[in-house]
Structure 1
Amino acid sequence: MSAGREELLARAALTRVLEPGEELGGRWLRRWGAVRLIRMLSAEGAAGTEAPDGAGAERLAGYRKRAVAADPERDLAQIAEAGGRFVVPGSPEWPGQLDDLGDARPVGLWLCGSPHLRIWALRSVAVVGARACTPYGAHMAQTLAAGLAERGWVVVSGAAYGIDGAAHRGALAAGGATAAVLACGVDVRYPRGHAGLIGRIGRQGLLIGELPPGSHPTPSRFVLRNRVIAALTRGTVVVEAAYRSGSLVTARRARELGRFVMGVPGPATSGLSAGVHELLRGEAELVTDAAEVVELVGGIGELAPVRRGPVLARDLLDPAARRVLEALPAGRTATAAELALAVGTGTDEVIGRLYELHSLGFVERQGDGWKLTARTDGAATETGVTRRGGR
């Protein structure tokens, strides 16, 4: 057996022994390495004098029972039969950004799907949020994910109900890339209502999990998998989240890791947006579409378009001409002398500007006076502008 194979088997076995994100196990791994650690926890190690430190006798006994029951050869064969694989730190497919988790780094990752994880992770964004989302939240998540996918970004989420599912569907509908980080084995379809969606992600994208085949989720595993979502991606977007939402855990972990944290605002009266708004008060950047997300997480030059209202014809006028136009009263005529007094310039200058405005259709001449055209006068009335001299 080669050293590489030994490492693979040892880490596959340890995913049966250690819980995801267990920092004590991470310290053991850093100190002794996977091959030596699994031997220490095996029946052979129990019979000797060497044993890991830092754990109580009862906890250590539990580890030993798990180690004895682990069958990494079977797990690797099972994942291969499902069309998947197991990747470990140091392998070509391992995403280096997961190393930012330190001792909480995954022991290894079980994958289903053909894309290369490390390459996908380099250009990925997490879209997370409430399970019991509103139609607005689902729409925003789906639209954001579709926009990111169309721009060549991988959308990462947790395959849960609500925002997660909407994000995955948006990316898939756009023909883009999406990956789901699961809190169970990648061969387990959970939640059951998303069995079809998870199957589709496995065929068209990637399913990612820390737990070996056949493992079922627990509440703590959902929280712990959030750290993988945060570390794996360039940034995390939260779309709807109450104050106690697990997606806020993902966002704050992302911030701790130096990733971009973004939030989509919602109604101030919505409890499902309260957590997002709390983030936006200082921990997150406000985003409303995919272009704004990419401007933050993307490379140089990937800028969102400039936001502005509609350009009106009067916006294109020379400042001097605009001042004369603004001085014209609504509903009546004014002479060039009156306008010159109102604007504070010479009569000849005003006359020149009036003819310029006349050629552009803003004003008309009536005898010795000048008046706004019906279109211009009406626009002023509709926008509630009170012109100098108006009644």
Structure 2
Amino acid sequence: MIHAKIKEAIQKYNEELVELRRKFHREPELSWEEFKTTAFICEYLENLGIPYRKTEPTGVIATIEGGKPGKTVGLRGDMDALTVEELNKELPYASLEDGKMHACGHDAHTAMLLIAAKALNEIKEELPGNVRLIYQPAEEVATGAKAMVKQGAMEGVDNVFGIHIWSQMPTGKVSCNPGPSFASADLFTVTFKGRGGHGAIPQACIDAAVVASSFVMNVQSVVSRTVDPQQPAVLTVGKMVVGTRFNVIAENAYIEGTVRCFDPAVRDHIETQLKQYAKQVAAIYGATAQVDYVHGTQAVNNDEYSAKLVQKTASEAFGEEVVYFEKPTMGGEDFSEYMMEAPGSFALVGCGNPEKDTQWAHHHGKFNIDEDALATGAELYAQYAWAYLNDK
């Protein structure tokens, strides 16, 4: 199932692959601001002779048309950066934009998918089918994939495959297990309204700070006491804004948080319980509560056939020892939007190497990747496409 010319091409273009990744890393662009990256991708594909169209406002959809009839496989790479200050100032390719950084590896994803496209384009006459290339913006705000689907990224696609570089795994390892991979990721806000007043006269007030604090402490029991312990779930309050002055009892309190799980029924249960807790806690103190619950990304659940094909492809391309089991993460990924249109899988490619100081967590200011992982990711993209199109 492995195409020798793909492997040769990836090796031949490895230096270019590294340079592409470093270019994107030096020039990070935030979600929905990836104009320069989009323009570069378009020019790169045009030079390869691969038909493409720019999506709005950013992003690119392209198709490599095979020389033989067959299915269509989609390959996705995201390209947005984060509002994180680069702490790796000593790197020759450190971010040139203050307060912006590729702290999650999307620079690597874009570079890998460009070189994969280059390799696949060289054997396009042999392809029994087509390869859809999806260069996606705005993954970090969980709206990019939905916009790309709406603009036709998945039209005619039979199977879809994505990769995330992963610093928590050793360099070169590949993990793609059937079933849950990334959790659903929702946002909730709670606004408590009490009655403000002088800090010296609490009996005349309803202290929103006390109400909000009580909610934060008690709402954790939604997971610990109402969800099956064998069903992973996380409820996190990440922001609380309350009060205006040291001697004024707060009238209002505002809370933001997130809910992560894998099971849709658990998701609905937590939403119901969270709303009930907020209103009941407020009622105890004589306050009121307004809860807004926003469904973000769906859970990423790898299709069994597709995940096993990834494992087989990785094993044949790089050796059986690269196949790795990484447990599901409670992180969110909007790749799930593509999998609602067609079956597919989402693989992790390890890039963690303490000797190169690339073991830092994603979204950290010192995040970096072991660039030896780039060739693994680029080849996995291309070899998976070849394997899927040839699998009868």
TM-score range normalised by the length of the shorter chain: under 0.3
**Greater strand share, 1 or 2?**
2
Higher relative contact order (CA 8 A, sep 6+): 2
Give TM-score, length-normalised by structure 1. 0.23
Give TM-score, length-normalised by structure 2. 0.23
- From the CA coordinates, give the structure whose radius of gyration is larger: 1
